[in-house]
Structure 1
Amino acid sequence: MATPLRTKEGGPAMRRPAFRRSRGEGPFRFATTGAGVVVLAIMAAIAVFLIVKAIPALQANTSSFLAEKIWTPNATEPKFGIAALAFGTVISSLLALIMALPVAIGVALFISHYAPRRLAGALGYVIDLLAAVPSVVYGLWGVIFLIPFVQGPYTFLNDYFGWIPLFAGDAVYGKSIMTGSIVLAIMILPIIAAISREVFLQAPRALEEASLALGATRWEMIRMSVLPFGRPGVISAAMLGLGRAMGETIAVALIFPATFDITFKVLSNNGNSIAANIANGFGEATPIGQGALIASGLVLFVITLVVNTAARLIIARRKEYSRAAA
């Protein structure tokens, strides 16, 4: 039953609209709450499992797990650390995001606001189809086609732009962090583009028409109305793509040279990631080696949580972002 409310001026009573409750609302609320609790429970169970399995290997480790670059957990005296693997994971994923994000936003804007309807539908279907391609296909494409192809461009970058630390080095190699980053960028591009496209399509039509009525060009309308509205969604899409790049296994395992070093020379024969190292080493690992790999997986789990938490904090910093994301 509605409850009466009086205005501050003492005017006539105002009534709040009463929400009609159906018999199915209680079970539905219980089911949705239970689903949320199950997700949190699964995440907690994964964290507990990783910690329990990693503790014996960490206790047997003879070096600093966070600072050591060497990875020899199967030796008589296990010595391993996550520094080089975490560095390779982060830098390759960030390079992939830097390459993929502008292209993905451009594709999303073209499909949502520039392309004819038939072309937009076909192009959107192709973008969605790219997201369904198995990662091993991308990895094989990188090994067979991309690695030989990039040797020439890498040599050009090294010869003429070697003063930039990223392109420096005595020699360049097809198997490198840069090649892995290119493959990762192609893999995460359809994910970011698909989500951004849907967000841009939700921009209020009234805002777009108002901008055009005031004399704005199509680009000015997009810059003033569409992009501010879609910014939270683009941030979320970028973080989802970044998490996808960090967790990719097979493609980078085929392309990375599987070395343990920390260097910003992304064209050199260096590079590895946590996921690729787990895939390459788990089959032949001793019990301590398996525990070390699980410990590295725990670090990747934490990094992913930090990335997603940072994205939520960025969105929550401004009220309009929070309202749009909600």
Structure 2
Amino acid sequence: MHATTAPPEPGDTDVDLRGVRDARHDRLFRYALMACALLVLAALLGAAASTAWGGRLAFETFGLRFLWSEAWDAVNGDFGALVPIYGTVVTALIAMTIAVPVSFGIALFLTEVAPNWMRTPIASAIELLAGIPSIIFGMWGLFVFAPFLAEHVEPWVNDHLGAIPGVGALFQGPPLGIGMLTAGIVLAIMIIPYISSVMREVFLTVPTRLKESAYALGSTTWEVVWDIVLPYTRSAVIGGVFLGLGRALGETMAVTFVLGNAHQLSASLLMPSNSIASVIANEFTEAYTDLHRSSLIALGFLLFVVTFVVLAVAKLMLLRLARREGA
């Protein structure tokens, strides 16, 4: 007897063809997403490589001395990156010192304290503040905020905080209005919307039942925030903070207006200084020698390095927190 083959059920061929087609579309979709991710990585590596190649003349001429030299003499061809690096780091630290607690307070107020009718208008105002161009902040800082600091704030800071032993050198200086302190405050105002928006969205992800259970047990608002909200959102909050730090490190126009653009190394926060971004913005069109132009491009590469180090530290902190929470 010969085995008989059952006739195909109606529609089996269509189902198989649809399965093959779906699998092919799924592969194409996966490859498209991978291409998008690799495109971002390629753009980043390309920008870093191009700045490193463009700054090779400066690195070959000065070597490692380029990193810690204070000189910046376009006439004699002597350049160093210490002052721009110092100004970039100091202004970013001032900005984060101000912006992080303020953003934390804004996010907690909008999610835990503010009445419902107030939350949406304030959140919308914060998002609009994030959309203001940086040059507007720079002009406001130069023409409005800097004169106010020079007349009303910096004289008091110099007379009172400058007399404190140990830290007084940070607050001694003439009331110029422009300087690292002014730049740091303007940067803080610029990054507060980014950090507070991230924190607000993260705090909203905390399950309501957890908070209501804590309140039912007699916890205060601060105890709920400290014991429930922060542990639940700690990793995301740190990520938002470092996102704001990256924004502060790379800011150009606002810092150029209010930092003073003085190539000098000073311990006083009231004194003018320079940052990597402001030096590049001010001098790139005027660089008439290959060495000068290469030094500016080398500063751009160093900004890549500083930003990469900051983001790498953030990633390591997040991984350590995740490992601790998993344990």
Matched-pair contact (CA < 8 Å) for 1:315–1:322: no
Q: Does 1:147 align with 2:146?
A: yes
Question: How far apart are residue 322 of structure 1 and its match?
Answer: 7.3
For residues 110 and 321 of structure 1, the distance between their equivalents in structure 2, rounded to whole angstroms, comes to 29
Identify which of 172, 190, 213 aligns with 1:169: 172
> Are 1:137 and 2:136 an aligned pair?
yes
Compared CA separation, residues 207 and 320, structure 1 to 2 (3 A): farther
Is residue 235–residue 322 contact of structure 2 (8 Å, CA) maintained in 1? no
Aligned to 1:159: 159
- 1:214-254 Cα offsets, whole Å, 9 max, x none, are 11122211211111112212211111111111111111111
Question: For residues 124 and 206 of structure 2, what CA distance do their matches in structure 1 show?
Answer: 21
* 1:167-206 superposed matches below 5 A: 167-206=170-209
Q: Which moved more, 1:63-72 or 1:103-112?
A: 63-72
Contact 2:48 2:301 in 1 (8 A): yes
Q: CA deviation at 1:130?
A: 0.4
The answer to whether the 8 A contact 1:282-1:290 is kept is: yes
Counterpart contact for 1:278–1:293, Cα < 8 Å: yes
Question: Which structure 1 residue ranges, 5 or more long, are not aligned?
Answer: 1-19
CA contact (8 A) 1:199 1:230 kept: yes
Aligned residue among 281, 284, 287 for 2:286: 284
The CA deviation at 1:321 is 7.2
Number of residue pairs the alignment of both structures matches: 301
TM-score (norm 1): 0.87
**2: CA distance between counterparts of 1:28 and 1:166?**
59
Aligned-pair distance for 1:109? 0.9
Aligned to 1:51: 52
Q: Structure 1 175/222 Cα, relative in aligned 2: closer, same or farther at 3 Å?
A: same
8 Å CA contact 1:231–1:321 kept in 2: the answer is no
> In structure 1, what is the equivalent of residue 66 of structure 2?
65
Measured on the aligned residues, the alpha-carbon RMSD in Å equals: 2.0
Separation in structure 2 between the aligned mates of residue 62 and residue 216 of structure 1, nearest angstrom = 59
Distance 1:106 1:63, change over 3 A: closer
Q: Distance in 2 between matches of 1:81 and 1:205?
A: 54
Distance (Å, rounded) in 2 between the aligned partners of 1:170 and 1:118: 46
* CA distance 1:170–1:139, change in 2 (3 Å): closer
Residue 95 (1) aligns with residue 94 (2):
yes
Per-residue deviation, 1:63: 8.6
Q: Which residue of 2 aligns with 1:13?
A: none
Q: Deviations over 1:122-166 (max 9, x none)?
A: 110000000000000000000111111012211111101112335
Instruction: Assess if the C-alpha contact under 8 Å between 2:173 and 2:270 holds in 1.
Output: no
Deviation for aligned residue 1:45? 0.8
For the residue of structure 1 that corresponds to 2:285, the secondary structure is coil
Indicate if the aligned counterparts of 1:64 and 1:80 stay in contact, CA closer than 8 A: no
The structure carrying a bigger helix percent of its residues is 2
Matches within 5 A, 1:1-326: 22-23=22-23, 24-61=25-62, 64-72=65-73, 74-75=74-75, 77-151=76-150, 152-162=152-162, 163=164, 164-165=167-168, 167-268=170-271, 270-286=272-288, 287-319=290-322
Deviation at 1:284, TM superposition (A): 0.5
Q: What is the SS of the residue equivalent to 2:300?
A: helix
Q: How far, CA to CA, are the matches of 1:117 and 1:25 in structure 2? A: 43
Distance change (3 Å), C-alpha of 1:60 and 1:192? same
1:82-117 per-position Cα deviation (integer Å, ceiling 9, x unaligned): 111100100110010000110001001111121122
Name the CA distance, whole Å, in 2 between partners of 1:182 and 1:192.
Answer: 15
Give the Cα–Cα distance (whole angstroms) in 1 for the partners of residues 28 and 324 of structure 2. 32
Paired residue type of 2:159? D
Label 1:229 to 1:211 Cα distance change in 2 as closer, same or farther (>3 A).
same
Distance 1:227 1:135 in 2: 31
Counting aligned pairs with the same residue, the percent is: 36
What residue identity is the alignment partner of 1:134?
A: P
- Which residue type is aligned with residue 121 of structure 1? T
Q: Which amino acid counterpart does residue 271 of structure 1 have in structure 2?
A: S
